[in-house]
Structure 1
Amino acid sequence: MSGQPSTGTASLFEDGDERHYSRGAIHDEQRHHLRNVEGYMRKDQHKAMNDMLSEDTKVQIEERYKKDPLYSATMHNNQPSWGARQDAKIQAEEAEMLRKKQEKIDSKAGKKFE
């Protein structure tokens, strides 16, 4: 054995992470996070990109915890409480009412311009 991986090249497996990002993806993500990583070495660019994407994931999970009353229980493989189910039902009803109101407003706005 030469100590080299038998699948792919040694450069394919950086720090146990097989993700490779294009320069365009790195550029777009750094603009979103206001962080300049293009000057980093290629290995460090991938690590910085993984860090930025994990930050995005954390933010999305936090937002879901705030907006979805059933999410916390289901994430822990538990049955949502009666109160959480009622909150979710009320949220769904309110969203439906807002959607109907918006449809009425949009249809009236469209008739004014005709």
Structure 2
Amino acid sequence: MSSGGHSNVGFPSLYESQNQKHYKQSEVEELQKHTGENLKGFLPKDQEAEVNRLRSQDVQRRQAENLKNDPTFAATLHGNKPHKGAIIDKEIQQEEAEQLRKKGDAMTGKSM
């Protein structure tokens, strides 16, 4: 007997893509507004894959920005405690940002 390429062994969730999701049309339209890409030109199946791709790009972009701005982000992203040097770097960045903000406030106060 031929099974026709379908298996009843194991759990179906192991073989199905866990990152695929059916999106409401309103979600697709909202993402289209923010990214500026035409998502309505895709077939429904391809449209969901494109939405997933755009969302993963957004997540990667945010992580890259956080890695630039926060030395402790990489460790906390992976569930680890940040290294002492990274914590000190973060404190120094915060102090410098505060000093620059105060300096900027003082400069704008003088020019007025």
Q: Aligning the two structures, in what range does the TM-score lie when normalised by the shorter sequence?
A: 0.5 to 0.7
Percent sequence identity over matched residues?
A: 34
Question: Which deviates further from its counterpart, 15-24 or 85-94?
Answer: 15-24
1:94 corresponds, among 93, 96, 101, to: 96
Instruction: Mark the CA change 1:84 to 1:28 in structure 2 (over 3 Å): closer, same or farther.
Output: same
Match of residue 30 from structure 2? 25
Question: Which deviates further from its counterpart, 16-25 or 96-105?
Answer: 16-25
Instruction: Mark the CA change 1:28 to 1:91 in structure 2 (over 3 Å): closer, same or farther.
Output: same
Give 1:69 shift: 0.8
Count of aligned residue pairs for this structure pair: 93
RMSD in angstroms over aligned alpha carbons?
2.2
Runs (5+) with no aligned partner, structure 1: 1-14
What is the TM-score when the length of structure 1 is the normalising length?
Answer: 0.67
Which consecutive aligned stretches of 4+ in structure 1 deviate over 6 angstroms post-superposition?
A: none
Report if the CA contact (8 A) 2:20-2:48 is conserved. no
Match of residue 43 from structure 1? 45
Instruction: Mark the CA change 1:38 to 1:26 in structure 2 (over 3 Å): closer, same or farther.
Output: farther
